[in-house]
Structure 1
Amino acid sequence: MSKRQKKSRSPQAGGAATKGLKKAGPSREESVNAALKASYERLQRRQYEKAEVILRKALSELGRDPRMLGNLVAALENQGRGEEALTVARSAVEHFPEDAQSHNNLGAITKFQGDLAQAEASFRRAVELAPDYADAWRHLAGLKTFTSADDPDLAHMRDLLQRMPRNNPQRAAIYFAIARALDEIGDTDEAFTHFERGNRARRGTLRFSAPDLSRLISETIELQSAELIGRGPAEGAPDDAPILIVGMPRSGSTLIEQVLASHPDVEGVGEVPDLPRALDPFIDDPKFRMRSLSLLSDDELATVGKAYALSLKKRAPEAGRIVDKFLTNYIHLGTLHRALPNARIIHATRDPLDNAFGCYTTLFTSEVPFVYDFKEIAATIAESGRLMDHWKSVMPHAIHEVKYESMVSDLEGETRRLLEFLGLPWSDRCLDFHNTDRRVNSASATQVRKPLYSSSVGRWKRYESHLAPMKRALAEYGVIDSAS
Structure 2
Amino acid sequence: MAAAPTNREATWAQAQRLREDGRIEAAADAVIALWQQVRNDRAGALATIEFLKECGAHQRAFPVARDARTRWPHDARIAAEAGEIALALGHFDEAAVALREAIDLDPKQGAAWLRLAYCRRFVEDDADVQRFRGGWSDPGLDEAARICAGFALGKALDDLGDCRQAAQVLTQANARARRTANWHIETWQRFVDAQLNAPALPTLPPDPTFTPIFVVGMPRSGTTLVASTLARRTEVRDRGELNWIPALHALLREQGQLRNPQALAAIAGVIRAQMRRDDAPARFYLDKNPLNFRYLDFIAACFPNAKIVHCRRSARDTALSIWMQHFAHEDLGFAYDFAAIAEVGKGCDALMTHWRARLPLAILDVDYERFVAEPQAQRHRLDEFLDLPTRKDNEVADNNAQSITTASVWQVRQPVYTHAVERWRGYAPYLPELTALFPEPA
- Contact 1:244/1:343 (8 A) holds in 2: yes
Asked if 1:303 corresponds to 2:242, the answer is no
Choose the corresponding residue for 1:272, options 237, 242, 254. 242
> Partner residue of 1:466?
430
- Aligned residue type for 1:333: L
> Partner residue of 2:52?
76
Post-superposition Cα deviations, 1:361-405, rounded to whole Å, max 9, x if no partner, equal: 112244421111101111111111111111111125521111111
- Contact 2:317/2:424 (8 A) holds in 1: yes
For residue 158 of structure 1, give the secondary structure of its aligned residue in structure 2. helix
- Aligned residue type for 2:407: A
* Percentage of matched positions with identical amino acids: 27
User: TM-score if structure 1 supplies the norm length?
Assistant: 0.78
Give the greater-gyration-radius structure (CA).
1
Partners of 2:430 and 2:269 in 1: CA distance: 49
In structure 1, runs of 5+ residues without a counterpart are: 1-34, 286-290
Partners of 1:237 and 1:441 in 2: CA distance: 30
Choose the corresponding residue for 1:240, options 210, 234, 238. 210
Asked if 1:333 corresponds to 2:296, the answer is yes
> Partner residue of 1:135?
111
| 1:63 shift after superposition | 8.3
Partners of 1:430 and 1:350 in 2: CA distance: 26
Partners of 2:36 and 2:335 in 1: CA distance: 41
Choose the corresponding residue for 2:363, options 381, 387, 399. 399
Map 1:359-398 to 2 at 5 A: 359-367=322-330, 368-395=332-359, 397-398=361-362
Change (3 A) 1:80 1:409: same
> Partner residue of 1:32?
none
- Contact 1:312/1:322 (8 A) holds in 2: yes
> Partner residue of 1:211?
186
| 1:281 shift after superposition | 4.8
Moved more, 362-371 or 137-146: 137-146
Partners of 2:196 and 2:139 in 1: CA distance: 46
- Contact 2:154/2:167 (8 A) holds in 1: yes
> Partner residue of 2:317?
354
Partners of 2:52 and 2:41 in 1: CA distance: 16
Asked if 1:202 corresponds to 2:177, the answer is yes
Moved more, 402-411 or 72-81: 72-81
Partners of 1:242 and 1:97 in 2: CA distance: 42
| 1:123 shift after superposition | 1.6
Greater relative CO, 1 or 2 (CA 8 Å, sep 6+): 2
For residue 192 of structure 1, give the secondary structure of its aligned residue in structure 2. helix
Partners of 2:58 and 2:65 in 1: CA distance: 10
For residue 111 of structure 1, give the secondary structure of its aligned residue in structure 2. helix
| 1:179 shift after superposition | 1.6
| 1:412 shift after superposition | 1.9
Asked if 1:122 corresponds to 2:98, the answer is yes
Change (3 A) 1:304 1:239: farther
User: TM-score if structure 2 supplies the norm length?
Assistant: 0.85
Change (3 A) 1:449 1:430: farther
For residue 341 of structure 1, give the secondary structure of its aligned residue in structure 2. coil
> Partner residue of 1:11?
none
Partners of 2:327 and 2:206 in 1: CA distance: 39
For residue 163 of structure 1, give the secondary structure of its aligned residue in structure 2. coil
Change (3 A) 1:159 1:235: closer
- Aligned residue type for 1:412: Q
| 1:350 shift after superposition | 0.6
Choose the corresponding residue for 1:262, options 224, 229, 232. 232
| 1:154 shift after superposition | 2.8
